[in-house]
Structure 1
């Protein structure tokens, strides 16, 4: 499997406090990687580095074999991040989903096709939801619209930070469906962060555990996070 990311000797500090220390990490192209850990373990910081929203204090990031010296628009266009509380535009559903496509110059029938396909992927029939306003959506529906807006652009990498934390069980399953379709259709590389251990394990090819900024593959009983599994 080709590597989408390779991280070497990564350290990241906030106000002199080391929040992330990763000697080596490789994420394969088309892999679904799950990240588990307690609050404050460094999961979101790692996602922000993978999304090119932060540069590690120390160490090297390789993206598709290329050493990332300076973050460019091209890197950020290859990667999209979905947060737990995602902001929707105060517009109709279809406009939210189509926004990223328009920014990329997609228009006409191609735009409508991609928008409708993305809504289907997350269980939102375009005939029922495309023209709904943002305020007419439940929390789970709004999160699925946010995911659809990411799927519509067919990202090379999709990063999800607690995507099911504030949604109902049906929406959690439909988000899982959308994630799977993304990989099956386009070979998207996915990194999932969640406290829902079973949800992550049911989706990921492998999962890693972050404890105080350090990675491990063991779900040892000494890890307090797994006392709640």
Structure 2
């Protein structure tokens, strides 16, 4: 199995306390891997390492076969991270969703098309929502707009931290469909943390359970539509 990520003997510490300890982990390209476990189990820390927002205290993280140490900033262009509490710029919905594309130098036509497609993917009608101010959105709509902003980038890797928290059932289903579409249409690899085990099982190829910073278990799920699962080695 090809590896997109390989972690070997990786630990992370905060204030001298070990919060993550992973002897080995391989994540394949095109896979959808779930992260389950209690709060404080290490899920968010692992996502931040995979997003190249942190470097491990010890061990090696390889991305596409090469160690990432010293290359984290350059690699962030391939990876998009969705935090537990995403925020929006004080601008219109269209400006929020298109901001990352604008920074990357995309043309106006391409930005408009991608923004409209991304909003539709998360169940927000572009004609109604694109002109709205960030102030006019509910909490659930803020979360979906923030996700649309990341989908519009069509990243190689999309890392989602609790993407369905505080969303109703219909909105969570829209997120599930958007996740599959990202993989099917753009080959995106996804790693998703969550507490909704049924949702994770429905969307992920495999699920890793983290407890006290360690990988407690790896299991296949029922969500395998296409692609290869992540695996614990």
- In 1, Cα distance between equivalents of 2:187 and 2:176: 15
- In 2, Cα distance between equivalents of 1:140 and 1:172: 10
- The 3-state SS of whatever aligns with 1:153 is coil
**Shift of residue 132, structure 1, vs aligned partner:** 0.9
| Structure 2 equivalent of residue 139 of structure 1 | 139
- In 2, Cα distance between equivalents of 1:174 and 1:202: 13
Pairs within 5 Å for 1:7-156: 7-156=7-156
CA deviations 1:110-129 (Å, max 9, x no partner) are 11111111111111111111
| Structure 2 equivalent of residue 169 of structure 1 | 169
TM-score by length of 2: 0.91
Residue ranges of structure 2 left out of the alignment (5+ in a row) = 220-233
Pairs within 5 Å for 1:186-197: 186-197=186-197
- In 1, Cα distance between equivalents of 2:54 and 2:74: 15
**Shift of residue 71, structure 1, vs aligned partner:** 3.1
Residue ranges of structure 1 left out of the alignment (5+ in a row) = 220-229
Work out whether residues 12 and 57 of structure 2, in 8 Å CA contact, stay in contact via their aligned partners in 1. yes
- In 2, Cα distance between equivalents of 1:54 and 1:144: 26
Work out whether residues 19 and 212 of structure 1, in 8 Å CA contact, stay in contact via their aligned partners in 2. yes
TM-score by length of 1: 0.92
Work out whether residues 209 and 216 of structure 1, in 8 Å CA contact, stay in contact via their aligned partners in 2. yes
| Structure 2 equivalent of residue 203 of structure 1 | 203
Deviant stretches of 4+, over 4 Å: none
- In 1, Cα distance between equivalents of 2:90 and 2:98: 13
CA deviations 1:93-145 (Å, max 9, x no partner) are 10000000001000221111111111111111111111011111122111111
- In 2, Cα distance between equivalents of 1:83 and 1:205: 21
Change beyond 3 A, Cα 1:67–1:126: same
Aligned residues: 219
